[in-house]
Structure 1
Amino acid sequence: MKFLKEFKEFAVKGNMMDMAIGIIIGAAFNSVIDVLVKKVFMPPLSLMTDGLEFQDKKYVLRDAVLNANGDVTTTEVAIEYGMLFETFLDFIIVGLTVFIVVKGMNRLKDKAQDPKNTVVKTPKDIELLSQLTELMEEQNALLKNK
């Protein structure tokens, strides 16, 4: 019973909704990055390397064996390092994009939390804390002068 109560509190607080929204946006973001890498970054990179297709690069450990009819009797065994390269490029692009987005969000958050900044409206909790800090500093100055 305690477990259900904790789960209800978790779901009602919005944490679950925040996670669900993050997962949905993350999945969509993954699709965007996948297209960005495969259709935007890889073609020029392939052109600069004389038409080299990175996704097709592999190190063959054992060639495929064909019978007289041309059917595969033993499949090829290969290490496909080209796909690893593309996936690593995906990872770097995702990391850089997330870094830039978080950096921008932090900059906006810092501006919003600065009580002296009059351009961005300061949240009430930050404003109250700022006023409380100012009052405490005034009180400490009065106590020191006594």
Structure 2
Amino acid sequence: MFKEFKNFIMTKNVIDLAVAVILASAVGMVVNGFVSDIMMPIVGMFTGGIDFSDMKYVLSPAIVGADGSITKPENAIMYGKWVTAIINLIIVGFVLFMIVKAYNKTKEPAPEPAPKGPSELDILKEIRDELKKQ
């Protein structure tokens, strides 16, 4: 059983999958850094300096004790984080779209040159015409 497992793990597909998962994780960190550190400040600038991640709707405020400690934390809907996640999704989706589009352009086959001489259809028409004459 161990030998079968070892053969399964050492196949090319499993190793390729492991490499893809590790690379996807690294690319995910780069994309998240790009979105949060570069794009979101730009989006915030166009929206009047709003930081979406801090936006919330407080359902019940925090209760602070006499000594200044929080006895009950606030209960809030953090919709700003959700808006940030949607903006991240749109930016990441657009970047991935551009990457795939560029990749597909490199993989497009060159158009086949037109065949020299008559096509198969032309030859068949000639044969048909010759048969009609007989």
TM-score normalised over the length of structure 1: 0.66
Alignment of 1:82-93 (within 5 A): 82-93=80-91
Q: Could you say what secondary structure the match of 2:49 adopts? A: coil
- Correspondence for 2:28: 30
Equivalent-residue separation in structure 1 for 2:96 and 2:47 (angstroms): 29
- Correspondence for 2:106: 108
Distance apart, 1:67 and its partner CA: 0.7
Distance apart, 1:29 and its partner CA: 1.4
In structure 2, do the counterparts of structure 1 residues 38 and 15 end up closer, same or farther at CA, with 3 Å as the change threshold? same
In structure 2, do the counterparts of structure 1 residues 109 and 7 end up closer, same or farther at CA, with 3 Å as the change threshold? farther
In structure 2, do the counterparts of structure 1 residues 92 and 50 end up closer, same or farther at CA, with 3 Å as the change threshold? closer
Contact 1:33 1:93 survives alignment (8 Å) = no
In structure 2, do the counterparts of structure 1 residues 21 and 83 end up closer, same or farther at CA, with 3 Å as the change threshold? same
Distance apart, 1:46 and its partner CA: 1.8
Q: Could you say what secondary structure the match of 1:78 adopts? A: strand
Distance apart, 1:89 and its partner CA: 1.6
Question: What percentage of aligned pairs have identical amino acids?
Answer: 33
In structure 2, do the counterparts of structure 1 residues 70 and 43 end up closer, same or farther at CA, with 3 Å as the change threshold? same
Which structure 2 segments of 5+ residues have no match? 114-118, 128-134
Q: Could you say what secondary structure the match of 2:66 adopts? A: coil
Q: Deviations over 1:112-143 (max 9, x none)?
A: xx4748xxxxxxxxxxxxxxxxxxx98xx79x
TM-score normalised over the length of structure 2: 0.71
- Correspondence for 1:131: none
Off by >3 Å, runs of 4+ in structure 1: 4-7, 114-117
- Correspondence for 2:72: 74
| More displaced stretch, 59-68 vs 44-53 | 44-53
The one of the two structures with greater contact order (alpha-carbon pairs below 8 A, sep at least 6) is: 2
Q: Deviations over 1:77-110 (max 9, x none)?
A: 1111111111112212222222222222222222
Distance apart, 1:44 and its partner CA: 2.3
Equivalent-residue separation in structure 2 for 1:107 and 1:9 (angstroms): 35
Equivalent-residue separation in structure 1 for 2:15 and 2:104 (angstroms): 22
Cα RMSD of the aligned pairs, angstroms, is: 3.1
Equivalent-residue separation in structure 2 for 1:29 and 1:109 (angstroms): 22
Number of aligned positions between the proteins: 119
Distance apart, 1:57 and its partner CA: 0.3
Distance apart, 1:42 and its partner CA: 1.5
